[in-house]
Structure 1
């Protein structure tokens, strides 16, 4: 589910690059929402996997032997977090970095100084004719 939310967030990011949408979920505020949901879902997946690992996977990861309950096979202490778990950390970081970049973009747009327009009224080069 987190991957689907990440794809939706990427789609709306491209939409924001190409045009200026005004709908709540497609605007830059929507990018905060989609990236926040993606980061939250990835974090929830990490918490659930970590809790399952601490409760049962660390003690015995042999599924068929666990279901048979013979007790002869054990992998106590041999299990570890796989590559997929560490990719989730990268996913959470990417979502948070994306939120930070959108915030920084909005900050720059709000605090960008206006360029002063200077018109010299006393200049007489006959380009402005007043009748």
Structure 2
């Protein structure tokens, strides 16, 4: 009987499921950027963290911390995204518009935004809207190909024989695409973090206006992408190892009918 070594394919399926879960967590969680926010007039260091959609700002000016939700607010016509803790949508838009224009909005987490245009900022403390949309688009593409890789893996782990075209070759190349897209996102965000000034102003008025001094870093949401890339690379290795072992295995014995003249019936 031919050895199929389907355990390798099933292991690739389990790894693909883990890869999908990691990408979903990275996309939806709120810890791409984490930072302390320090000033002399607070009980202890304040904290902030945010992801691609929301975040949280914990101000510790008093003994009881003041917890505020941060909203990623984007305005396409000014090519700007920034974080705002304003409780009203119009106030958040007004705050981001002010930051994009280099003006100083009131950072307090209220329902209104007052803007001071007499002392403009040297550089608008915002995130590029095009960059932001590109990161989310590539992450969604990575998630799609990772789901496809998982589907092809379980299809080939349960079907006999394995699919010739959309099966293992497709599973192999979707994992290659998953790893490549993950690397692209990490490089894009990492380079942007280092070169755009985002690591200094954090696209947040409290930090950009100098109200608090930041101690920023990249959070676990970003670093989870490394694990998802390793899962995809591991799947590639499993599929290639399986192919190598199948090629190394000796072929099944061949029965030569011409050597049997006694009328024996052979079943194939």
Alpha-carbon offset, residue 74 of structure 1: 4.4
Structure-1 residue corresponding to 2:144: 4
Q: Deviations over 1:81-117 (max 9, x none)?
A: 1101211000110000000000000111111113547
Alpha-carbon offset, residue 27 of structure 1: 2.1
> When you count helix as a share of all residues, which structure comes out higher?
1
Structure-2 residue corresponding to 1:21: 163
Structure-2 residue corresponding to 1:112: 249
SS of 2:201 mapped into structure 1: coil
In structure 2, the CA distance between the partners of 1:15 and 1:129, relative to structure 1 (3 Å rule), is closer
Q: Deviations over 1:16-73 (max 9, x none)?
A: 11222123xx22111121001000010000001101210222212142357xx64555
Distance in structure 2 (CA, Å) of the matches to 1:92 and 1:72: 38
Give me the CA root mean square deviation.
Answer: 2.4
Structure-1 residue corresponding to 2:225: 88
Pair 1:63-2:204 in alignment: yes
SS of 2:218 mapped into structure 1: coil
SS of 1:80 mapped into structure 2: strand
1:112-131 matches, within 5 Å, as 112-116=249-253
- Alignment coverage as a number of residue pairs: 116
Runs of 5+ unmatched residues, structure 2 = 1-139, 256-261
In structure 2, the CA distance between the partners of 1:93 and 1:129, relative to structure 1 (3 Å rule), is closer
Length-normalised TM-score, structure 1:
0.75
SS of 2:250 mapped into structure 1: coil
Runs of 5+ unmatched residues, structure 1 = 119-127
Runs ≥4 in structure 1, deviation > 3 angstroms? 69-74, 115-118
Length-normalised TM-score, structure 2:
0.39
CA contact (8 A) 1:57 1:79 kept: no
In structure 2, the CA distance between the partners of 1:129 and 1:31, relative to structure 1 (3 Å rule), is closer
